[in-house]
Structure 1
Amino acid sequence: MRQTYTGIRAVLLATATDRAAAGFLLTAAAQEPLAPFLGHAQAACLDLLRNLLPEPEEAPATSTTAKPIPLREYLTELFKFGTTILEWSPSEVWQASPAEIEAILHARLERLEAMETASNTDHQPKHQMSQDQRQANIEAGLDPDFDRRGLRALKARHGA
């Protein structure tokens, strides 16, 4: 960021939780030399960036296949995920930190993976038909892929 009043003003207004107080501060600082104000403003901007960037979960790998993206693109993607996948309103996404959005996205993906795994294991056939039984069913004109044991178990469960 260039060390200008305009750049610092933009950051302060974009991140202020109390816009009136930020406006008052900027009005007062506009009449003063920039040098004494600059150190405090830069520290606040760096603190903002430190809080925006996610903390690494583990040491970075020596070689990565992911291509680096600019911070602006990263935040834009998080905003899209927040409004589409998480179905939050734009104001809710703006109020959440990137770390919060990432944590919830990871939790949602883990949940979807668990549901997918559970649904795939439910559809696995429990009994495999022997080749002899399959051949006997074909010779008898029956569907060799029909699960007769499953039908008998279902009838027994429902008393039919």
Structure 2
Amino acid sequence: MDTDNTFKGRHIIIHTDGACIRNPGPGGWGAILQSMDGNIELKRKEISGYDSDSTNNRMEMTAAIKALEALKDNANPVHIRSDSNLLIRGMNEWLPGWKTKGWKNAGGKSVANQDLWEFLDRLSTPRIHWSWVRGHAGNKLNEMVDRLATAAARSPENRLFTA
């Protein structure tokens, strides 16, 4: 089991990933939601989905959105882990500035995927913590969500869930 021993009490750990066969092209996303009590996994749910025409970044963001929408626990801390620097830095660093600047980036251009950033902003609360994990580096659950996303991108029939 891939857990972080620093977490105490009840919490949710969400692992997310997105994939595209071509970029842009057919895409898939995957997420694993773990209900935890300290280091003990109480419950696990795997979800994934497909988009016939997307980009890798959109699928990374969609995985986080779909995972947050699937949450039934609205009280405990949530730890989202992704290998997407864009997603994690966007949520932890860039989002407030984009909103202040009218959805313009540091170069004065419109923020790409503004629709998804706005959706993530609406879903995110102070109990949600965003952290980056190195992809393809032996993190078992990150590798599992990579397989879910890749399988969904390759074939709509491989998805576990589509909302």
TM-score bracket relative to the smaller structure: under 0.3
More helix, by proportion: 1
Higher relative contact order (CA 8 A, sep 6+): 2
More strand, by proportion: 2
TM-score, length basis structure 2: 0.21
TM-score, length basis structure 1: 0.21
Select the structure of larger CA radius of gyration: 1
